[in-house]
Amino acid sequence: MAKPFKYEILRELGRGSYGTVYEARFKKAGVSVAMKKVLCDSPEASELALQELWTLSSMKKRHPNVIWLGECILQRDQIFQKISKKSTESESHLLLIETCLKGKCCFNLQSSHFLWFVMEFCDGGDMNDYLLSRGPDCRLNRTFMQQLSAAVVFLHLNQIIHRDLKPDNVLIANTQRGAVLKVADFGLSKICQGRGSMNRRQMSTVCGSDFYMAPELWEGQYSAKVDIFALGIMFWAMIERITFRDIEVKKELLGIYFSKGRELVPVGKALVENPSLELQIPMKSKGVMNNYIQKLLRGMMAFNPQERPDALSLQAQVEKVMFPGAKRGGPTRL
């Protein structure tokens, strides 16, 4: 049954290979929202969209530093069908959605299928653009490190591995309390089923963005510790404001690399080639970080994932490094 679209599209916020994000307004309440439109025109595109849907729908609680899904809408031509979070718990309903998106059902195969993700609107853009439009700020660095650590704790306690953490996938919401980070883009995420530590469970699907990938991701055998490595790259690049130029998107991005002639080699790949490689932290700016922060970063980017802290330990270490003289409680738990 055709239903009137209840959102008014205001402007395009960003476009990528995966989808297009718009600022929109919920007509009835006049509230601003962000809407990601994903064209499901191939099994691969549908798989990414479905993975994001499953992951966002699996979160039973909200966290201030993780993007929240309001609702998801399946569109076929001008027919809009709301996919409720309760319905995603039904295996039969999921199979119906998946079959529809992958074009295997009896619908006209010439029709277009989209998923619309309706999420909270973040007016500050992404972390990359936000930081590079401002000068170095130690207080802001400290706040962002705390928020990102808290977000990964929440995800890992909910059995979710992001697998593509990078500044472009972190959004900023400007509030009266300052900038609030929201980890987003869960198309490559993984929900771990069953019991056992995520930090010991091994996966083999290679995915992610080169400059933030842990060594074991390059080799195809990894655990949740890949998220810790990616955070280490993000923290290091943020503190020193180290950037590289991405050829595909044609813009400066925060990230760490080694130069090999004209080639830029990601840290993870360089460690695969030379596991005993000693990371020069800081790389270019003396005096921007103390010994405690240097030690923290080296631990986060250790070649051996077993030597990296887990998410809860990282959060505690970040608190200790950021407030070395303060008496603080243990890490935040759900």
- Checking DSSP bridges between strand 113-120 and strand 251-254, what pairing results, if any? unpaired
3-state secondary structure the chain: CCCCCCEEEEEEEEECCCCEEEEEEECCCCEEEEEEEEECCCHHHHHHHHHHHHHHHHCCCCCCCECCEEEEEEEECCEEEEECCCHHHCHHHHHHHHHHHCCCCCCCCCCCEEEEEEEECCCCCEHHHHHHCCCCCHHHHHHHHHHHHHHHHHHHHCCEECCCCCHHHEEEEEECCEEEEEECCCCCCEECCCCCCCCCCCECCCCCCHHHCCHHHHHCCECCHHHHHHHHHHHHHHHHCCEEEECCCCEEEECCEEEECCEEEEHHHHHHHCCCCCCCCCCCCCCCCCHHHHHHHHHHCCCCHHHCCCHHHHHHHHHHHHCCCCCCCCCCCC
Instruction: Please provide residue 181's backbone torsions phi and psi, each rounded to the nearest 5 degrees.
Output: -80, 145
The sign of the torsion formed by the CA atoms of 127, 128, 129, 132 equals positive
Is 41 one of the catalytic residues?
Answer: no
- Which residue's structure tokens are 């243990």? 330
Choosing from 126, 164, 168, 227, which is the catalytic residue?
A: 164
- State the Cα–Cα distance between residues 5 and 24, nearest whole angstrom: 11
Known catalytic residues are: 164
